[in-house]
Every structure is written in C-alpha cells, then in structure tokens.
Amino acid sequence: MMGDNTYNPYEHAQAQFDRVAEIIGLEGATRELLRQPLREYHFLIPVKMDNGSTQVFRGFRVQHNDARGPAKGGIRFHPHETADTVRALAMWMTWKCAVVDIPLGGGKGGIICDPRNLSENEQERLCRGWVRQVARNVGPNLDVPAPDVMSNAKHMLWMLDEYEAIHGGRYPGFITGKPVGMGGSLGRTEATGYGVVYTLREALKEKGINIAATTASIQGFGNVAQYAARLYSELGGKAIAVSCWDHVERKPYTFRKKDGINVDELCGITDMYGGIDKSKAQDLNYEVLEGGAWLEQEADIIIPAALENQITIANVEKISPQVKIMVEGANGPTSPDADEVIKKRGIFVIPDFLANAGGVTCSYFEQVQSNSNYFWEKDEVLEKLDSKMTAAFIAVSELSRQSSLYMRDAAYVISINRVAQAARMRGWV
C-alpha cells in the first residue's frame, strides 16, 4: 500500500518470519505451513449504486492459520488494498493472537473501495455483499471478522445482520467491534490505542523513565492514534505532533504544538476517518507542517499509527537522535531495511503485533461476552486488557534480555513457537 511502488507487505511479513524460523531452527513442513495462508477467498461484490448503476468491488478474506482457534482479524476498506496486503495482515494476526496468548488464529479481510465516496446505503449494500460471498467460510467457530482501517461498528452490525439472515438465527459471536448495546464490548473503541500505551508504560518503567518527563510524536489520527494520544496524555506524557493524510492534495500533513496537543480539541476538528481540518487547526494555533514531519520531531517516543511501510530506508535517517523508543501502533509500519537501521541505532522497539494487540484482545473479550450474553463494566474490560498486554510485554522483554534478541525477534520467537506447537499437537505436522 502506501510508500514506494515496489513494497510488498506479504514479502515483508514472510521475510520477518523466515529470519526467526532460521533462528529457532523451525523444521521443514512446519516452516512451509506457517509462512503462507492456509486458505484464501477472493471474490467480486456487485453493488447497486444509488444512481441505479451497478459497481463491482473486489473483496478478500484470508485465513492464515487457525491451529490455536478460529481465525480472527479485521476487514479493511481501502482504495489501495491488495491480496498481498491482506495476506500480510492475516499472518501478523496469527502472531498477534499468539503473543497475547488468546485462543484464536489469524485472518484478515478487505474490500478495495473508498468509503468516503460511498453513500451510507451503498456502504450497507457493500458490507452485506461481502458477507454473502463468504458466509459459509466464516462464523463464530471458523473465522471472526472485526473493523480495521476505515471500517467501523456500524459496518460490523450490517455484516452481522446479513450473516444471521443467511444462517437463520442469532450469532453475535460471528463478528466483533459491534456497537455497544448491540453485542459490542465497552472499551473496544479505545482498546488498540490504550494497549499501545500500556506497553509503552511498561517499557518506560523498565528503563526507569518517568512518563511525565517524555514527549511523543504520532503518525495518524484515526482510531488507534487518537486513543494512544489520549491515554499517553492522561498519564502525563506530552504528545507534540500527530499527522493525517490529505485526500484532496494526496499527501500527508503534520500538526504540531510544541507545548502539547489537546486531543479533545483536535478530535473536534477531525472527520470520522481521522482527517484533520487544516485551517481550523491553524486557528487553534497548531503549526501545519508538510509531509512526514512527524518522524523528524525532537521527541523521546515515536508512534507510527497509520499504515504499513511508513518508515523506510528513504526516511529512517530523519528520526531524531533524541528518540529512545518506537511503539508501532500500525501493522507493519517499518520496512525490513529501515528496521535494521533502527536496531543498529539502539532504539527500543515495541513491535506492531505486540503493541497493537489490544484491539484483538478486547475483541476476544467481546466474543466471550457475546457468547455468554453477559456484558462487563468498562473498568473490568480495561483492567483485563491491561493485565493481558502487560503480561505479554513482560514476557517478550524478558526473552529479549535473556537471549539478547531484538524485541521484534523475541516476540516472533514466542508466537511462532506457540503456533507451531499447536500445529504439532493437532498432528498437522
């Protein structure tokens, strides 16, 4: 997707896997099984448009691995979605569910579309069309979708309704990220961004750094970035910059306030997809900077929370010498060659599938609540989320220290071993 034209996220995900498969000496068949998806569905979705015409969209669902439980992962709506993006995201979901030790596998879906250009009715027909194409291949015990980039709770409920119409019954465990009151869990909206900050808080604790003495620069201002910025600020940190994509000018902008952004104020001038109004931001005394300025800020922490392949060999050197920690809120934001540079510079990395696992962890809680038809208070959800994320961070960090492994590799070692073990116990390999 974003970044240079030669970037292939699936090759990125496989290169990361291959590196660690080599380190742990993963045997032949297991390695072959885990480095690619078990199943893929590619299909067309014809949608009646409001003007009476029919538009044909392309949709995907990829189930990378379900040895540890039903496949789990979001559905992304994006004009640049590709089969290889979905394959990579599905693979990262497998490692994500394994690192936080929830009984789920990895899957991901997508539709090549730009919901900004679709009416509400067209979006509903598109969501229902996606479900009609895969209704027999997904389900509470097979593969459980959720929201991702540009998809939301309303989309999930339309999808659930279509699934239930096809199967004739109520199956609230089919999908997560539903609206609260309609089977959704309190805390799911906040979960990914909060999870990012729970892991950051633990990293700072280990390093003896007071969060209130730190500054952070964040890429993106969508679901993940907004809640990461919010909790980080509540804990006393100073977020000095966020960024978003300008869809008219087709380029990113950074919004900076050196004495600290105000999340509520910025949310008030942001559209539902995370796009910030530039002139209103200027009226609120934000500096509006060109391009990828978020990456060049003199901050202690950087949090890429937009899309994959955002930190590449072309811009990695622009990271300020002040940066000590990078927490990857997005999936796959750092290209493998840029990652090598970051590793050499000694920046402490909390890798994507660990840092952003809060979303799927809360989705798992939602499934549990939906299946038992008993819903927890928000404090209870967040407390359980914090404890899962903290435990996963500590396990990865301990392994990293004990075995002198880069944090990303340590997280992979834990996840691959867990999934490989499940495949062996099932007698698959």
| Site track 370-409 with ligand NDP (rule: CB under 6 A), x = hit | ----------------------------------------
* Least gap, CB of 418 to ligand NDP (angstroms): 19
CB-CB contact of 357 with 392 (8 Å):
yes
Picked from ligand AKG, ligand NDP, none, the partner binding residue 330 (CB below 5 to 8 A depending on kind) is ligand NDP
Tokens of 401: 């220290």
* Least gap, CB of 2 to ligand AKG (angstroms): 16
- Say if residue 404 carries a ligand binding annotation: no
Q: Is the torsion defined by CA of 18, 86, 172, 388 positive or negative?
A: positive
* Least gap, CB of 207 to ligand NDP (angstroms): 24
Verify binding: residue 182, ligand NDP, rule CB under 6 A: no
Verify binding: residue 111, ligand NDP, rule CB under 6 A: no
Task: Give yes or no: 108 in active site.
Answer: yes
- Say if residue 251 carries a ligand binding annotation: no
Neighbouring residues of 43: CB distance < 8 A, sequence distance ≥ 6: 58, 59, 60, 133, 134
* Least gap, CB of 422 to ligand AKG (angstroms): 18
CB-CB contact of 117 with 247 (8 Å):
no
Binding stretches for ligand AKG (CB under 6 A)? 72-74, 96, 146, 148, 176-177, 331, 356, 359-360, 363
Verify binding: residue 331, ligand NDP, rule CB under 6 A: yes
Picked from ligand NDP, ligand AKG, none, the partner binding residue 219 (CB below 5 to 8 A depending on kind) is ligand NDP
Specify the residue, 90 or 319, whose C-beta has the smaller distance to ligand AKG: 90
Specify the residue, 85 or 363, whose C-beta has the smaller distance to ligand AKG: 363
Taking CB atoms, the residue at the shortest distance from ligand NDP is 222
* Least gap, CB of 210 to ligand NDP (angstroms): 27
Verify binding: residue 71, ligand NDP, rule CB under 6 A: no
Q: Which residue has the tokens 């929830």?
A: 102
Number of amino acids touching ligand NDP (CB under 6 A):
28
Cα–Cα nearest to 60, from 111, 113, 105? 111
| Site track 122-161 with ligand NDP (rule: CB under 6 A), x = hit | -------------------------xxxx-----------
Picked from ligand AKG, ligand NDP, none, the partner binding residue 107 (CB below 5 to 8 A depending on kind) is none
Specify the residue, 129 or 359, whose C-beta has the smaller distance to ligand AKG: 359
- Say if residue 137 carries a ligand binding annotation: no
Verify binding: residue 106, ligand NDP, rule CB under 6 A: no
- Residue 246, CB half-sphere, CA atoms under 13 Å: how many? 16
Specify the residue, 236 or 268, whose C-beta has the smaller distance to ligand NDP: 268
- Residue 303, CB half-sphere, CA atoms under 13 Å: how many? 35
- Say if residue 72 carries a ligand binding annotation: yes
Of these, 110, 222, 237, 351, which contacts ligand NDP (CB under 6 A)?
Answer: 222
- Say if residue 388 carries a ligand binding annotation: no
Measured CA to CA, the distance from residue 196 to residue 200 in angstroms comes to: 6
* Least gap, CB of 358 to ligand NDP (angstroms): 7
* Least gap, CB of 227 to ligand AKG (angstroms): 14
Q: Which residue has the tokens 């994959």?
A: 308
Catalytic residue among 48, 108, 258, 318: 108
Residue ranges of the binding site for substrate: 72, 96, 363
Residue ranges of the binding site: 72, 96, 192, 223, 363
Residue ranges of the binding site for NAD(+): 192, 223
Please give the positions annotated as active site.
Answer: 108
Binding site for ligand NDP (CB under 6 A): 2, 147-150, 192, 219-225, 243-245, 252, 273-275, 305-307, 329-331, 356, 359
